Structure formats: C-alpha cells, structure tokens
Amino acid sequence: MPTLFVATIGGHLVELVEIANRLPDDGDSIRVWVTQDHPQSRSLLADEKIVEYVADVGMRDVRGVFRNVPVARRLHREWNFTRVVSTGSATALSFLPYLAMRGVPAHYVECATRVEGSSITAKLLSAVPGVHLYTQWKHLVHGRWRYGGSVFSRFTTHTRPDPQPIRKAVVTVGTMDDYPFRSLLDAVAPLLRPGGAIERAQGEPVETLWQTGSTPVDRLGIEANPYVPGAELDAAIREADLVVSHAGTGSSLTALMA
C-alpha cells in the first residue's frame, strides 16, 4: 500500500509526520515522502527510506507548481500510489490535483493554525474533484470540509507544583525566512539574556537557546542561532524549564511532545 506524504518544510512537515505516525500500519506499507531539502527535513525524516526532495513553491508561484508536476508523474509511475496525504502548503498543489485526476484518493488536512478560515492552498484544492478535505476545528466543518481530528487532541493539561528556578530555557520563532518576529525577541531578551531580569530575580544564571530564524538580533545581547537542527532543538526543549515560542504548529507540537 504505497502512500505519498507531501508537505512543505516547517510546521507543515512536523504536522504531517505526526499524522503519518497515527495512521494504521498493515505491516507492508510503503511510505514515500516529498518535501524540500533542509536540515529540518533531513532530521525529521532520517528514519524514512524513501524521500524525494523538490524545489520550494512560493506564494502564488504558478511556475513553481508546474515545475514539480513531472516529479508527481514520475513517482506515481514508479510506486502506483494508493493514496496521497498532505498538510500543505503550496507544494501540495503540484501533487494532489494530478494524482486525484488519476483516481488516487487524495487527502488534504488543513494546518491546525488555521482557526478562522482556509489557506490559499485549501481554497484552490477545494475546487479539485476527488480531493478529500479535512479541518482540525469542528466549527469550520461545512460543505466538503470534514472534521478529521486534531494533532493537539492527544495532549492533556496538568497543574505544575510551585515554580522552580529557571535554569534552562528555549526561545524559538520558527524557520520561515519571510516572517521575522522581532517583537517577541524584544520582549523576552531583557528577561532571559545573561544578566537579565530572571537571572537577577532568582540569583541564578539562565542558559538560553535562542532559535531566531530570519529575525534580526542586533542590540539584543543574545547568542542567536538562526536555525537549530531538529534533534538538537528537541533535546533542548525536553531539558528546558521554560519554552517561549511563536504559535506555529511545528514549534507548538515539539514543545507539547516534550
């Protein structure tokens, strides 16, 4: 049962890995992955046997969509897929319509961060016959959109005991090149940088890992890491007393799973 999993790097890929691992395994399933070549994807998919790296597709990048269609054609000839699953974003447009038109059941799961409405990718795919559409929020069920569960559904809340000293912290703003988040760093740096407010208040230093993406870090007084490999970031979050993050699905899932 060859299944094709398609996702753009970042939160879309983290989300798809979580979904793929929830699907039943009949013992002889074949998983083929399509995404971009990036340290994150190489880390997340290190245990996957079949990974195809394709060029990124930007917003409203019609040429980029068509550039990857031959890859969809070649992979389908090779594997004869019985289903394709994607969480987006624009990379999905090269694969789901092509495979759906060839009778392959196509499943598109809208990103969990889409709480108020659909993405551009989802709106385009909703016009393609044969693509099954899933939202992760019950209040968005309408027309062809079905509730398919949520990647957050297996987590529960717990009340922690009295606060302990913060010895290790992680601050992460994701990996998207076009979305800096300087306002978050401006607010948090005075608290967590060496000699910051938390260190002064508790009388102990705070070891902070700063994953800053494309955000400029001038005059913040921090040691920034634009990108941290997935395994390293996961380990740091597991050991951290405090995690401060943007609300991307990938960062949220990583923190919750830790």
Instruction: Give a three-class secondary structure readout of the chain.
Output: CEEEEEECCCHHHHHHHHHHCCCCCCCCCEEEEEECCCHHHHHHCCCCCEEEECCCCCCCCHHHHHHCHHHHHHHHHHHCCCEEEEEECHHHHHCHHHHHHCCCCEEEECCCCCCCCCCHHHHHHCCCCCEEEEECCHHHCECCEEECCCCCCCCCCCCCCCCCCCCEEEEECCCCCCCCCHHHHHHHHHHHCCCCHHHHHHCCCCEEEEECCCCCCCCCCCCEECCCCHHHHHHHHHHCCEEEECCCHHHHHHHHHC
Q: Do domains 2-147 and 168-257 have the same CATH topology?
A: yes
In 3D, which of 226, 231, 229 has the Cα closest to residue 210?
A: 226
Domain locations in the chain as residue ranges: 2-147, 168-257
Q: Treating both helix axes as pointing N-terminal to C-terminal, what angle do 249-257 and 230-239 enclose, rounded to 10 degrees?
A: 50
Q: For domain 168-257, give the fold.
A: Rossmann fold (3.40.50)
Cα–Cα distance measured from residue 43 to residue 172, given in angstroms and rounded to the nearest whole number: 17
Amino acid identity, position 235: A
Question: Torsion over CA of 60, 127, 15 and 245, rounded to 10 degrees?
Answer: 50
Question: pTM of the predicted model, to two decimals?
Answer: 0.83
Is the pLDDT score of 27 beyond 70?
no
Q: How confident is the model at residue 47 (pLDDT cuts 50, 70, 90)?
A: very high
Record the tokens describing residue 102, joined without a space.
Answer: 């060839």
The pLDDT value recorded for residue 90 is 93
pLDDT tens, residue by residue, 101-144: 999 999 999 999 899 989 999 999 999 999 999 999 999 999 99
pLDDT tens, residue by residue, 181-206: 999 999 999 999 999 999 999 999 99
Contact 248, 254 (CB under 8 A): no
pLDDT tens, residue by residue, 133-147: 999 999 999 999 999
- More confident position, 227 or 199: 199
Q: How many CB atoms lie within 10 A of CB 54?
A: 20
The pLDDT value recorded for residue 179 is 78
The pLDDT value recorded for residue 177 is 65
Q: Decide if domain 2-147 falls under CATH 2.40.30.10.
A: no
